[in-house]
């Protein structure tokens, strides 16, 4: 079983911790990334190529900008710049990890509804596998929220792996995830 | 990144073609198996350990036994024996493939509702990953049928990969799958 074929292209949707102002990857996507490295990539970094996508939702209610006043187009421009920098910080974390392990990767930012954008990026980029972390919501929350992972399993045009966060890793306050 | 850790334990739920009397693996589970070998195992057979489970549903309507007459307890015993032999044939296909590739594996048969049994076996055996093939039903069929893969993604206590069959691989008659 020679490994002469092209590397397995693994697309991974990553997001920030939802704790406002907190610049780190969410627990769910770090769990998914670490799991993929230890259980799938294992000792074969040359066999895989990671594609990180971060989808930014425009913060319509402006919750994390409550102390800001938008008085000019320039204010909005600055807000967008700040979002972009945050997204780049997030992607930098994953790109650095891959670089240290000798795994090739690419990373980019898109805007819109995460579940729709992820599926359209799968269509465009045609990875071998899509990895999505999941917060493992209970049935009650699931009915009303509808998770990104469930949508992707149904609609993404490639195999999808759903990695639930361990119950022990759930933050005390859900907003910290 | 040394591969000194224990192999990744991959549980795979396999089933027969639903064409009555046809003893081969279904297109969905062969697709899922082949994909897992080429995209995840790649050149690292020692890094993976496969666990094949085949769940048999008792054929309550007896469709494939329409020419049989059940007149004694012995008749039912023979029917069960025949089911067991069919299940063993199915598992033999996967065990042989693994053997040829130098991948360690185990295989066993259980009875009951496939989705419930698969999830309870995940709880008991604690694999690192569950692989489920999916026929990729359209939204209409999905609402009424409810697929094994969807249930497992929600309820199995480990990461789950759903591998849809390609549209081009769909048999002309759905019963041939």
pLDDT tens-digit map of A1-30:
545 689 999 999 998 876 656 668 888 899
Q: Supply the Cα-derived Rg of chain B in whole angstroms.
A: 17
Cα separation of B102 and B45, whole Å? Answer: 6
Whole-number mean pLDDT of chain B? Answer: 82
Domains of chain B, first to last: 10-60+75-164 (3.40.50.620)
Q: Which chain B residues have a beta carbon less than 8 Å from that of A142? A: 154
Using the beta-carbon criterion (under 8 Å), do A164 and B159 form an inter-chain contact? yes
Cα separation of B162 and B131, whole Å? Answer: 6
* Mean pLDDT, range A57-69, rounded to an integer: 58
- CB-based contact A74:A128 (threshold 8 Å): no
Using the beta-carbon criterion (under 8 Å), do B42 and A160 form an inter-chain contact? no
Q: What tokens were used for B173?
A: 């008659």
Q: What tokens were used for A40?
A: 């799938």
**Greater confidence, B21 or A97?**
A97
Shortest distance, CA A177 to any CA of chain B (angstroms): 19
With residues binned 3-state (H G I as helix, E B as strand, rest as coil), the percentages for chain B, rounded to 5, are 45, 20, 35
**Percentage of chain B surpassing pLDDT 70?**
74
- Chain B residue with the nearest C-alpha to that of A139: B154
Reduced to 3 states (helix: H, G, I; strand: E, B; else coil), residue A177 is coil
Report which of A99, A146, A65, A137 is spatially closest to residue B1, judged by C-alpha positions: A99
Nearest to B2 among A40, A43, A163 (CB): A43
- CB-based contact A160:A153 (threshold 8 Å): yes
Model pLDDT, residue A66: 53
Looking only at the bridges linking them, the beta strands covering B48-56 and A160-164 are unpaired
Q: Is the pLDDT of residue B49 over 70?
A: yes
Q: Which ipTM was obtained for this model?
A: 0.82
Model pLDDT, residue A149: 87
C-alpha atoms less than 13 angstroms from C-alpha of B137 in its C-beta half-sphere: 14
């Amino acid at each position: 079983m020679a490994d002469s074929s092209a590397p397995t292209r693994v697309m991974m949707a990553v997001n920030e911790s939802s704790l406002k102002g907190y610049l780190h990857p969410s627990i769910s996507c770090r769990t998914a990334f670490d799991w993929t490295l230890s259980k799938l990539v294992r000792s074969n970094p040359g066999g895989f190529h990671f594609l990180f996508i971060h989808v930014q939702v425009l913060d319509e209610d402006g919750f994390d900008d409550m102390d800001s006043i938008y008085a000019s187009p320039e204010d909005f421009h600055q807000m967008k710049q700040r979002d972009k920098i945050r997204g780049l910080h997030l992607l930098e974390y994953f790109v650095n990890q891959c670089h240290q392990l000798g795994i090739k990767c690419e990373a980019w930012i898109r805007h819109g509804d995460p579940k729709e954008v992820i599926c359209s990026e799968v269509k465009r980029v045609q990875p071998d596998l899509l990895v999505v972390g999941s917060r493992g919501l209970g049935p009650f929350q699931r009915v009303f929220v509808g998770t990104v992972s469930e949508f992707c399993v149904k609609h993404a045009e490639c195999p999808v792996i759903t990695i639930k966060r361990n119950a022990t890793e759930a933050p005390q306050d859900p907003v910290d995830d």
